[in-house]
Amino acid sequence: RFNTTIDAIITANRLKNAYYLRINRVLYVPNMPGIFYTIRRGDNLSKIASKYHVSINRIADINDLESSIIRKGEKIFIPNATLSNWERAVALGNIFKAPAIGRLTSRMGFRRDPFTGKIAYHPGIDLANRTGTPIYAAQFGRVIFVGRRGGYGKTVILAHPKGYVTLYGHLSSILVRKGQVVKQGQLIGRMGNTGRSTGPHLHFEIHQNGKLVNPLEMVKIRR
C-alpha cells in the first residue's frame, strides 16, 4: 500500500513487538524500502555501505549528509537494506516461544505481595497450571543454572544469543543439567510449587544484558 517494507516500519518506529500495537498509536511510514540505522561506536559510512551493499553516495543523498562524518547515536536511513533474521524475529515477537501452557495469573510490574500484603515489584510473569505441566525452553540456549534458588524454588536459567537470559522458577522437577545446550521448545522441566509459591505455576523472566524485559512483549501466551 505504501511502497515500503515491514523492516522500514519496524525501524522507523523502534517497534519491540510489531504484533502488539496500542490502539491510536501513530506510526511513521517511510516512503521507500530500507531500514533506519543508529550509528554505533566505530561506525563509518564505508563500513555501513559495505555491510548493506549500498553505495556511500546513495546513503549520503538520502540522508542529506554534507560530509562523511557521522556521530554515535545519529539515526540514518539505509535504502533497500533489510533486518537480519534475528532482528526481524525480535521485532515480530517471534524470538521466544511460550515456555508453558497456562493461565496468566500475574504480570510483570508492581503488585501486592501475596505473602506480605505489601506492594512489591514482580520481575516476571506467572503461568498457572497443574503440577507436572511441561516446561519448555523459550529459545535455543545453554543451561547456566539448575537447582534451588531462594524463593524461586527449583529453577532453570538459560543463556541465549544477543545477551538474553531466561529464568524458569517453582519447578517440580528439572530435566536438564548445567552446561547442556537445548533447542527451542525442548522439555527442560515440569511445573511445580517449590519455593515461595501459592500454588503450582511457572514464574518466567527474560533479561537482556542484565536488564529485565517484559515477557508479554516477547512471547505469545498459550492457554
Report pLDDT digits (tens) over 166-185: 999 999 999 999 999 999 99
> Sorting pLDDT into bands at 50, 70 and 90, what band is 10?
confident
Average pLDDT for 36-43 = 93
The string of DSSP letters for 54-101 reads: --HHHHHHHTT-SSS---TT-EEEEET----HHHHHHHTT-SS--SSB
Q: Per-domain residue ranges for the chain?
A: 6-91, 103-217
The span from the CA of 51 to the CA of 47, in Å, is 6
> Sorting pLDDT into bands at 50, 70 and 90, what band is 20?
low
Report pLDDT digits (tens) over 74-94: 999 999 999 987 788 777 777
Q: Is the pLDDT of residue 214 over 70?
A: yes
The span from the CA of 179 to the CA of 51, in Å, is 34
Per-residue cell: 170: 517453582
**Whole-prediction pTM:** 0.70
> Sorting pLDDT into bands at 50, 70 and 90, what band is 21?
confident
pLDDT at position 13, please? 85
Report pLDDT digits (tens) over 98-130: 999 999 999 999 999 988 999 999 999 999 999
Provide the sign of the torsion angle of the four alpha carbons 9, 13, 15, 18, taken in this order. Answer: negative
pLDDT at position 218, please? 84
- In CATH, what number does 6-91 get? 3.10.350.10
For domain 103-217, which CATH number applies: 3.40.1190.20, 3.90.25.10, 3.20.20.80, 2.70.70.10?
Answer: 2.70.70.10
3-state secondary structure of 47: helix
| Nearest by Cα to 18 from 83, 75, 105, 78 | 83
pLDDT at position 87, please? 81
Q: Is the pLDDT of residue 54 over 70?
A: yes
Which residue has cell 496468566?
104
